Structure 1
Amino acid sequence: MRATAFSVGQPAPWFHCRTQLRERFCFDTIAGRYVVLCFFGSAADPVSTKVLEDIQAHRPRFDDDQICFFGVSVDPEDEKLKRVESSIPGIRFIWDFDRSVSKLYGTLQPDGSIRQMTYVLDPALRVLAIVPIKTPIDNHVPSLMRFLDRLPATAAPHAATPHAPVLVVPRIFEPSLCKALISYYDERGGEESGFMTEQSGKTVHITDHNHKRRRDCVIEDEVLAKACESRIASRLLPELHKAFQFNATRMERYLVACYNSEEGGHFRPHRDNTTKGTAHRRFAVSLFLNSGEYEGGFLHFPEYGKVYYNAPTGGAVVFSCSLLHEATSVTQGRRYMFLPFLYDDAAGVIREQNLSFIERQP
């Protein structure tokens, strides 16, 4: 499975179109289950015929509750001759006769033909996989079904419990980038990390092991920093805007942090924007680089109960800098994190205005 127009973790484009069942279908309304979006071109194509037959052979899997299938046709004859038929629940067909949807998804070739492929989207309509349709064609749908078999089931309906207003977004960094960041830290080591506080009208940096114990390594490798920046921009910022209507345009700090159990790594409850030197910060990102390789080390938001938060490797917990939060103690192993702050141009003005209040470290 490889990326073509998009990469795993990016949001799939939204669109409006005509389908076999609706004159105007809003694609974004299908969020909440896994989506198989198959750009097969024309049902008259023998390759497409085989793919669609194999999908029908797995008809029970597409139930609209867990998974749904959308086939994208660019051939008007598919509609006129009724070569394909929607089957509710689970299987529907999109009429893309002007090829606008195909173009949006990068499947339209310069000569007007379609690069046949299947996208798998998660319940938030973010790309999970891109599977080219190629020979041996007999393997396409079986490979697709094996991939679907490995996906966790969506949660059953249940009553909500009190929780913090945070986002948990998986697949921001791929595993290889997480490993590269950890290696970068291990090769250079981390410096003792203090925190900012206000003293006599100045923002000062202090160290107090009772409040915080962590070591940080600033990323000075430009290629590595750009890799982090591009993934935050393309995979995380759209989710932030969707949830909070905030357009982040700037990112503060490119660093890898390590909470080490041997030092009792932790960060007691605090807020990230309570000094003049930090007042510009709008959202904090806690991006987990090695989930499951340590014990403890959760995010906790005391104002919203005793729920502990984390994310899978490469995933992030994103929250307002004004929320009280803590990093609980790591009791075994090392917890590696990528920890930027996000803000916008208006907050950038505040940052510039407050530079004179920051007491520089010797």
Structure 2
Amino acid sequence: MRATAFSVGEPAPWFYCRTQLKERFCFDTIAGRYVVISFLGSSVDPTSIKILEGVQTHRRRFDDDHVCFFGVSVDPEDEKLGRIQDSIPGMRVIWDFDRSVSSLYGALQVDGSIRQMTYILDPALRVLAVIPVEEPTQSHILSLMRCLDNLPLLEKAHAATQQAPVLVIPRIFEPALCKALIRYYDDHGGQESGFMVERQGKTIQITDHNHKQRRDCTIEDEALSKACTRRINSRLIPEIHKAFQFNTTRMERCMVACYSSEEGGHFFRHRDNTTKGTAHRRFAVSLFLNSGEYDGGALNFPEFGKALYSAPTGGAVVFSCSLLHEATPVIRGRRYMFLPFLYDETAHAVREENLPFLGK
């Protein structure tokens, strides 16, 4: 039993359940729209009655194209007496009589009662918001509708264009953590960042401002480093596994990098795993800490066209280390980034084997 609710940015767990129309409904097939899932307990609970009435007042919102609603009932009498029913499109009831879904989502309390709350999930079924049910109940509905009002419109169907095989994932770090990392960098300063090359059979680091201009700061504060690692583990790694069937077990470096317009910050075309000292790297993570506070500084993957990639503050662009890529010049302000590499146990063995080839 999960004791707490999922936090914003975490992937919501998938499950099978029974609904009015399907004996075995596959929840993850609802992806592609915003999802509201409310843990009601019983439909005759006074609070649940008000929630359902409030949702019904805004029935038009739930159309299955943009948003859909799930009410989760653990009361068999709700089904037996037909007290709540599916209303397609947009509104469905999950019969959770064994309380397995409620347990999975942190809504089942130790005494067996239901912690009433509502999740909002994004189209990839990641948590956008968790709204606890508090008195007065009407405030819950107002909070829910306010969140729905602020959701970006989903794209309409359109012909696909060429795209690099990358993931753009929002909400890995929350704004407060992004600010804490930037503050740490500003307090400690950054050291000039080089890049790795092969020279006479050894992997060494060199600097060349025509190729790369950046300053890096390793995070040595244990609490801050652990906060970053926890979020990478719970919010990012599951998405990599879903997209690429890759089991990440290790992370290389915990650092903040700064590309400054004063220094012409950039990193020209390169791959991240072309030397013996870097051959273990599997995925690169470019996590944006202050999007919108600078101009320039996007990612480009020349093998796949001239499209420029970025992410909102706290979001990440994730890609294979074997892809050719560049960080375009920052022309105004400072671009702060969190830049780890991810790999697995097989790659770790490669890293250990290649240690003798690292130069000093």
TM range (shorter): over 0.9
SS at match of 1:142: helix
**Counterpart code for 1:342:** L
SS at match of 2:319: strand
- The answer for the alignment partner of 2:55 in structure 1 is 55
1:327 aligns with 2:319: no
Alpha-carbon offset, residue 87 of structure 1:
0.8
SS at match of 1:196: strand
- The answer for the alignment partner of 2:21 in structure 1 is 21
- The answer for the alignment partner of 2:234 in structure 1 is 234
1:126 aligns with 2:126: yes
**Counterpart code for 1:83:** R
Alignment of 1:154-233 (within 5 A): 154-233=154-233
**Counterpart code for 2:248:** A
Alignment of 1:45-124 (within 5 A): 45-124=45-124
SS at match of 1:268: strand
Alpha-carbon offset, residue 4 of structure 1:
4.0
User: For each residue in 1:84-122, what CA deviation from the matched residue of structure 2 results, as whole angstroms up to 9, or x when unmatched?
Assistant: 121110000000000000000111111111010001000
Alpha-carbon offset, residue 292 of structure 1:
0.2
- The answer for the alignment partner of 1:294 in structure 2 is 294
Alignment of 1:263-302 (within 5 A): 263-302=263-302
Cα pair 1:121 1:129 within 8 Å, conserved: yes
Aligned partners of 1:143 and 1:272: how far apart in 2?
A: 44
- The answer for the alignment partner of 2:338 in structure 1 is 338
- The answer for the alignment partner of 2:348 in structure 1 is 348
SS at match of 1:159: coil
Alpha-carbon offset, residue 342 of structure 1:
0.1
- The answer for the alignment partner of 2:143 in structure 1 is 143
- The answer for the alignment partner of 2:254 in structure 1 is 254
Aligned partners of 1:355 and 1:139: how far apart in 2?
A: 59
Alpha-carbon offset, residue 200 of structure 1:
1.1
Cα pair 1:173 1:228 within 8 Å, conserved: yes
**Counterpart code for 1:114:** I
**Fraction of identical pairs, as percent:** 74
1:245 aligns with 2:245: yes
**Counterpart code for 2:319:** F
- The answer for the alignment partner of 1:38 in structure 2 is 38
User: For each residue in 1:165-224, what CA deviation from the matched residue of structure 2 results, as whole angstroms up to 9, or x when unmatched?
Assistant: 000000000000000000000001100001000111110100000000000001111111
Aligned partners of 2:130 and 2:111: how far apart in 1?
A: 22
Alpha-carbon offset, residue 66 of structure 1:
0.4
Aligned partners of 1:146 and 1:68: how far apart in 2?
A: 16
Aligned partners of 2:4 and 2:296: how far apart in 1?
A: 38
SS at match of 2:113: coil
5+ unaligned residues in a row in structure 2: which ranges? none
User: For each residue in 1:274-321, what CA deviation from the matched residue of structure 2 results, as whole angstroms up to 9, or x when unmatched?
Assistant: 000000000000000000000000000000000000000000000000
**Counterpart code for 2:46:** P
5+ unaligned residues in a row in structure 1: which ranges? none
TM-score (norm: length of structure 1): 0.98
Cα pair 1:36 1:70 within 8 Å, conserved: yes
Alpha-carbon offset, residue 268 of structure 1:
0.2
TM-score (norm: length of structure 2): 0.99
**Counterpart code for 2:37:** L
SS at match of 2:256: strand
Aligned partners of 1:4 and 1:248: how far apart in 2?
A: 25
Alpha-carbon offset, residue 134 of structure 1:
1.6
Count of residue correspondences: 358
Alpha-carbon offset, residue 6 of structure 1:
1.1
Aligned partners of 2:81 and 2:199: how far apart in 1?
A: 77
Aligned partners of 2:209 and 2:167: how far apart in 1?
A: 29
Aligned partners of 1:355 and 1:262: how far apart in 2?
A: 36
Cα pair 1:215 1:257 within 8 Å, conserved: yes
Aligned partners of 2:353 and 2:47: how far apart in 1?
A: 62
SS at match of 1:242: helix
Aligned partners of 1:76 and 1:242: how far apart in 2?
A: 34
Aligned partners of 1:90 and 1:133: how far apart in 2?
A: 22
Cα pair 1:169 1:317 within 8 Å, conserved: yes
